[in-house]
Chain A
Amino acid sequence: SAVISQKPSRDICQRGTSLTIQCQVDSQVTMMFWYRQQPGQSLTLIATANQGSEATYESGFVIDKFPISRPNLTFSTLTVSNMSPEDSSIYLCSVPSEGSDTQYFGPGTRLTVL
């Protein structure tokens, strides 16, 4: 399985600011996924990041709020913009497994917005 790292692992931010979360994979992958997991909830897909093209956002998520970069096949960033307390969540990146339908998750970024 791929080894995935995320930075930062956690952060506490003020309302109205922005935070950029980094996701690094130890192998080249075509797609990277960004999920949000709000307290006590399951995972919700925010967007799919494809290298060389615009990210594909799910219903309810927009690029202005969650801009994504995918500069190469091993790295992606998700920015949470103009944060409010409702953005307090764990943000997870994941990648598909080579040759199968499965996904592997990074360790997550725990964000608290005050």
Chain B
Amino acid sequence: QKEVEQNSGPLSVPEGAIASLNCTYSDRGSQSFFWYRQYSGKSPELIMFIYSNGDKEDGRFTAQLNKASQYVSLLIRDSQPSDSATYLCAVKESGGYQKVTFGTGTKLQVIP
């Protein structure tokens, strides 16, 4: 069974700090990686995707991918209370069907 692992948290950071969220995956052939944000009672919202090794920046968000180590991370700079949510890592599996597998999510709390 292909797995995506995340620390469930909660991860607490003070307002203005950098939040670092990590994810590991088991399918070495995976090529597409996603971060979704899910507020309580709401559906997941895509915030970042990354395909290549290295960093990808979008505003306060940076996704980092290391395929050799099979991990992907999300950095949130200048964290705001509005960033408090559960962050889901998702990985598109290799192979013909290319199913997306979601991690269990990390709950982030940004303390004012």
Residues of chain A lying within 8 A (CB to CB) of residue B103: 42
Neighbour of B43 across the interface among A42, A58, A108, CB < 8 A = A108
User: Is the CB–CB distance between A102 and B34 below 8 Å?
Assistant: yes
By size class, the interface of chain A is 10 to 19
Count of chain B residues with Cβ under 8 Å from any Cβ of A?
19
Contact B49–A101 (Cβ < 8 Å): yes
Q: For residues 49 through 95 of chain B, which have their beta carbon under 8 Å from a beta carbon of chain A? A: 49, 51, 88, 92
Cα distance, A55 to B99, chains bound together (Å)? 14
Judged by a CB distance under 8 angstroms, whether B17 is at the interface is no
Chain A interfacial positions (CB closer than 8 Å to B): 41-45, 58, 90, 92, 100-108, 110
Chain B positions within 8 Å of A, measured between CB atoms, are 32, 34, 41-46, 49, 51, 88, 92, 98-100, 102-105
20 contacts between A and B (CB under 8 A): A41-B104, A42-B102, A42-B103, A42-B104, A43-B44, A43-B88, A43-B102, A45-B99, A92-B43, A100-B49, A101-B49, A101-B51, A101-B92, A101-B98, A102-B34, A102-B46, A102-B49, A103-B100, A105-B43, A106-B43
